[in-house]
Amino acid sequence: MRLALLFVTTLVLSGCFQVTSLITVHADGSATLRDQITLSGFGLMALAEAAEGGEPLFDEATMAARADSLGEGVRLLAFEEREDGYTAVYAIDDIRTFRYGSPGAGDSDSPSGNANGIPLAFDFEAGDPAVLRVLVPKPPPAKSEGEAEETDAEAEAMALGMMRSFVGDARVTVSVEVEGDIVDTNATVVDGARVTLYDVPFLAVIDAMAGSESGMPSDPSNFPALLEQIGEVDGVQVPAPGTIRVRFR
């Protein structure tokens, strides 16, 4: 059950907030990143306790430090703390040197970490039309069934029930928007000038796991591989490894 418990912890922590990241790419190859984090449940309680203790859960210095993990030429433009979370906006000098990592992911307790999170790289060609490429890496291989620990069906069902009560409306959404009109793209979810790369409502994932014979993922510590696996769930958008191309003017 160790891996199952790890997955419980991961989803409980993720379930404390909604993450919405919007990357806006301009015709000259510069860009901005807007992260909006909205807390609920235990996350909101932790935020209130931190405020009472005089140590904010989120602060401008931490968000500025996150810029260093996003690649060369990235800097914090604005930070707004709210009662239920925060909004941070980053300037990106060159989208080609930008490496997206989801807020809160990583080995550290800091929201600036991005290891093991949603990893995305970008390429860009100026012109008429301009060409943006989103590079979705292939995740490292998950542990084989032989390496995965045996799970107890009853305990696993209980763990899924716990997750369902914690997760609520938790969601992770990552989108790219271009400045101008999209001429053509191979993206699957497009709305005007915006392409949705990831849209993961955790409640749908848990419900799918509860109805699946396989139950818990075999290697929940491998977050990119986990994302690929849950991308098969109805209502969840996860891009396949490869290149998403957007031509715009």
Q: CB–CB of 216/210 below 8 Å?
A: no
Q: How confident is the model at residue 221 (pLDDT cuts 50, 70, 90)?
A: low
Whether 220 shows a pLDDT value over 80: the answer reads no
Evaluate if residue 20 carries a pLDDT over 90: yes
Which pLDDT score, from 0 to 100, does residue 15 have?
47
Q: Are 33 and 117 in contact (CB under 8 A)?
A: no
Question: Does position 141 have pLDDT exceeding 80, yes or no?
Answer: no
The token pair at 225 is 């591989």
Vertex 156: Cα angle to 154 and 157 (nearest 5): 65
pLDDT at 67 over 60: yes
- pLDDT tens by residue, 192-206: 999 999 998 877 877
Tokens at 215, concatenated: 């139950």
What count of other Cβ atoms lies within 10 Å of the Cβ of residue 89?
17
Q: Cis check for the bond before 217: say yes or no (omega within 30 of 0).
A: no
Q: Collect all residues with Cβ–Cβ distance below 8 Å to 20 and sequence separation of at least 6.
A: 35, 36, 37, 38, 171, 173
Q: List the alpha helices (DSSP H) in the chain.
A: 2-14, 41-52, 60-68, 153-167, 202-210, 223-230
Beta-bridge partner residues of 138:
none
The string of pLDDT tens digits covering residues 102-113 is: 776 544 343 333
Q: How confident is the model at residue 139 (pLDDT cuts 50, 70, 90)?
A: confident
CA separation for the pair 144, 148 (Å, rounded): 6
What integer pLDDT is reported at residue 119 of this predicted model? 84
Enter the tokens of residue 43.
Answer: 């996350």
Pairing of strands 17-25, 171-178: parallel
What SS3 string covers 149-163? CCCCHHHHHHHHHHH
CA 70, 108, 14, 147 torsion: positive or negative? positive
pLDDT digits (tens, 9 = 90+) for 143-176: 555 555 555 667 766 766 666 666 667 888 999 9
For position 4, what pLDDT does the model report? 43
Residue 107 CB coordination number (10 Å): 9
